[in-house]
Amino acid sequence: MSTAILVEREGPVARLVMNRPEKHNALRFADLDLLVEKLHELEDDDDVKVIVLKGNGRSFCSGHDYNDAAKSYGLEPGVDGSKPRRPSQRSRLSRDRKLGENYKAFHFSLKPVIAQVHGVCTGAGMYLVELVDLAIAADTARFSHAEQRLGLAGNTWHLNTQILKYGPKRAREILLLGDEFDGQDAERFGTVNRSVPEADLEGTVQAWAERIAQHPRDALVTGRAMWQQAMESLGGSEQFARGYAGHTLGTNLRFEEDEFNFLRERRRSGTKNAFAQREGHYSVK
């Protein structure tokens, strides 16, 4: 049985805990599937009024486990080192549609969700923080959309939410540059509601969760449903439908010889070195 996702209950407050601390809670596709499965179980649990999303160890979530993504998408070289056969668009679209549905589950959760953020928060971790109701971060947390440097360049599942959250210019800056920023800047940008000293993070989240749990159950669920309807009027679900097609296209690019190709560098020197080369390529000259 997988222990990558844990569930903790304490009265009306439940915690969804990402539990791959040795990987900074990088999510494999199966982990994200399980995270959503556990979210739905908590939605159905009438004793639970509010859900806290957090990570064990040094970080909240460092995004997708890239080795798992490469394997799932059929991008691994053959055992003899031969170049992998390009996967079909239908298989890519099918996987990405499921991925989009998983993100949408958090966007439209039936119960309020608070993200408790520390350490690294990028890629899938950033998406979750941007999509849930509330987020509180440690001042020392490190946020970025560095995954955009793999060839997405501003192509995400929930651009409408990001535009609403940051404003058009800031959203484009955060996505196109992929720069890292701390918890205090995350509060200033609107990524999180509050930034607090790391020693105060757990207590602050708990206090907010307990305050929210004072509301009646029906009021919380009805209020969440009304929030979903408001987001739908702004194209909430429509962007996820566009997003999975955009993700398939954006991760199936043709790179020219003078452009940084993460997959090519990964085949040559391995995942860790390819990430280091990516950061060097996009660093300020």
Tokens of 197: 């000293």
Beta strand pairing call for 13-18 and 113-117: unpaired
pTM of the model: 0.90
Taking only Cα atoms into account, the Rg of the chain, rounded to an integer number of angstroms, comes to: 19
Which own/partner contact pairs does 96-101 have at CB distance under 8 Å and 24+ positions apart? Answer: 96/244, 96/245, 96/247, 96/248, 97/244, 98/29, 98/33, 99/29, 99/32, 99/157, 99/244, 99/247, 100/157, 100/240, 100/241, 100/243, 100/244, 100/247, 101/36, 101/240
pLDDT tens digits along 118-171: 999 999 999 999 999 999 999 999 999 999 888 788 888 888 899 999 999 999
| pLDDT higher than threshold 80 for residue 60 | yes
How far, in Å, CA of 26 to CA of 278, rounded?
18
Domain locations along the chain: 5-253, 261-285
pLDDT tens digits along 176-210: 999 999 999 999 999 999 999 999 999 999 999 99
What is the CATH superfamily name and number for domain 5-253?
2-enoyl-CoA Hydratase; Chain A, domain 1 (3.90.226.10)
